[in-house]
Amino acid sequence: MSFIKRRWWILVLVAILVGGGVTGAIAFSGSSAAVPPGHIDDGAELLPQASITLDQAIAAAQKSESGAVGEVDLEMYQGQLVFNVDIGDKDVKVDASNGNVLGSIQDDNNKDESSDNNDESSNNESAALSSKAVISAADAEAAALAANPGTTAVKVELDNENGAVVYSVELSNGLDIKVDAGTGKILHTEAAEADTQDESQEQQNAED
């Protein structure tokens, strides 16, 4: 191979290596990394408008709430520039002009997680109750209506009442009939909750 050809191949290889390095650098710089605790996540461009430092804002938030320090945002809150400091499960609002704590609220992420856990727990409980029921919801409704002629069922659900599995059949007359989920026997009758009575009243008005 001639000197010129060898030199041309060397230049090609160098170009490929350099190009790959640039591409890798661009890809790396474009990737998003987790924000370390105690650092600004959103609103860093607003820092020049703040009269207190990030460390001062964190110190003020820690005096207000206890817990681990998470990410910090700079944002507008009720017309004021504030540091939003994650402390434990709270978002602490610190006035960016004087360091005063304006208030703290439940962190949205923790609230959503708690809600998901509650929903899962409720679903598991419903499944456990259903496995213990011998009669169906339709059978329980029929028993409640037979004992209260001229009414309609507003809601039927399975409950755990003092360790016993029962159907709670809420009727349009404002009564809540407890039906044994094992035998279909009516155990007792009580007044339905206010929101159910309102719902039954709306049904009656719609029918009229």
What is the model's pTM?
0.41
For residue 23, what pLDDT is reported?
Answer: 44
Q: Which residues, including other chains, have CB under 8 Å from residue 108's CB and lie 6 or more apart?
A: 91
pLDDT at 130: 81
The pLDDT score that the predictor gives to residue 81 is 94
Same domain, 133 and 176: yes
Q: Is residue 20 assigned to a domain?
A: no
pLDDT of residue 191: 85
Do residues 89 and 107 lie in contact, with contact meaning Cβ atoms separated by under 8 Å?
yes
Find where tokens 């060397």 sit: 10
pLDDT attached to residue 207 = 52
- Residues 92 and 136 occupy one common structural domain: no
Please report whether residue 11 resides in a domain: no
CA dihedral 155, 156, 157, 162 (to 10 degrees): 110
Which pLDDT score, from 0 to 100, does residue 129 have? 77
Q: Quick one: 162 and 99 in the same domain?
A: no
In a shared domain, residues 90 and 159: no
- Asked if residue 159 is part of any domain, the answer here is yes
- Do residues 98 and 167 share a domain? no
pLDDT averaged per 10 residues, the chain (length 208): 60 59 44 72 92 95 91 89 92 94 76 52 69 89 94 89 88 93 92 56 51
Report the C-alpha gap between 197 and 208 in whole angstroms: 17
Q: What is the CATH number of the domain that holds 82?
A: 3.10.450.40
Q: Which pLDDT value is given to residue 106? A: 82
Residue 90 within a domain: yes
DSSP state of 24: H
Whether 14 is in a domain gets the answer no
Do both 137 and 174 map to the same domain?
A: yes
69 and 134 housed in the same domain: no
Work out how many domains the chain is built from and give that number.
2
Please report the pLDDT score of residue 30 as a whole number.
Answer: 45
Same domain, 145 and 202: yes
Whether 135 and 185 map to the same domain: the answer is: yes
- Residue span of the structural domain in which 177 resides: 129-207
The pLDDT of residue 166 is: 92
Are 85 and 154 within one domain? no
> Are 94 and 134 in a shared domain?
no
Question: 43 by DSSP, 3-state: which?
Answer: coil
In a domain, 25, yes or no: no
